[in-house]
Amino acid sequence: MIRTIDGLRTRLAEVRDEDRPGGAARVALVSTLGALHDGHVDLIRAARERADVVVVSTFVNPLRFRTADETAANPRTPDADADLLDELGIDVVFAPAAADFLPAGTATTRVSAGDLGLRYEGRVRPFYFDGVLTVEAKLFHLIRPDLAVYGERDLQRAFLVRRMIRDLDFGIETVLVPTVRAEDGLPVSSRVGLLDEADRRAATKLTGALDAAASNADRGVDACIAAAQSSLMGESRITLEYLSVVDPETFLPVDDGHRGRAIALIAATVGGHRFIDNAEISLS
């Protein structure tokens, strides 16, 4: 469990210098906020399949949150995380303090996500993706991974990171791992466990809305969105934040003439907790 930048550099130099039959070690990065769950385990296993050395960061990035109170409220399970990562045989765990990793605080130099960073999740949290990309770029600079692994649940984040990699010539391969779902269809996340029984039943209607969108995709994008919205009507426990259908190549909303592959995005608050999800659909 490495907590300083100098310690990280020293450890990475050690693992890169180890004798390997195939030559230089291939390094994978899985960046997380900690509070690890089954979804993270799938990311880590995907990284292990593709690399010699796996680096997992468990940094609660304050630039992703509005206030210090929101940052402090993010779930933290450091002991359980350490046990899990040890069991998975992770080579390097990077868990720095915010004061060490971002010594300039909110005044630190930022990477801008541009206009797309102000859509969907960025419309709700306009600071969010600049914070995500800033910390991800710093991790890329320090770790110099060959590949980075992301979950499909955070698809907008993955899209923006891929674009940053391309635009800034990081030369890093990205791997997308399918969303891990519970038996009731909800994406596995640290927030799901915080819901009471009634809120959890309500939250499953978000997955139902995506299913409705997919079932009506052959009728065009307007019918697709209308069906998803209709499936949520009357559910007072859900506050819908956005429901959009986007082009996977641009992440911009599709127009009426779009045919073929598209992504339905949804975000809502249930029981005081935010949830995001998405599903691939085929418009015809």
pTM summary value: 0.93
**215 marked among binding-site residues:** no
- How large is the average pLDDT for residues 15-43? 88
Q: How many domains does the chain have?
A: 2
131 shares its domain with 207: no
- Per-residue model confidence as pLDDT tens digits over 190-240: 778 788 899 999 999 999 999 999 999 999 999 999 999 999 999 999 999
**92 marked among binding-site residues:** no
For residue 141, give the H/E element and its range.
helix 128-143
Q: Which of 121, 146, 177 is the last residue of a domain?
A: 177
Longest alpha-carbon distance in the chain: 62
126 shares its domain with 239: no
Q: Which of 177, 204, 236 is the last residue of a domain?
A: 177
**151 marked among binding-site residues:** yes
169 shares its domain with 225: no
Residue 60 lies in a domain: yes
Residue from 40, 141, 258, 273 carrying the catalytic annotation: 40
- Per-residue model confidence as pLDDT tens digits over 101-121: 998 777 678 999 999 999 999
Residue 137 lies in a domain: yes
138 shares its domain with 228: no
> How many Å apart are CA 102 and CA 109, to the nearest integer?
10
Amino acid letter for position 158: A
Active site residue 40: yes
CB 148 within 8 A of CB 161: yes
Q: Which of 177, 207, 238 is the last residue of a domain?
A: 177
Instruction: For residue 68, give its domain range.
Output: 5-177
Please say if the pLDDT value at position 130 is more than 90. Answer: yes
Q: Report the Cα–Cα distance between both ends of the chain, in Å, rounded.
A: 50
Residue 183 lies in a domain: no
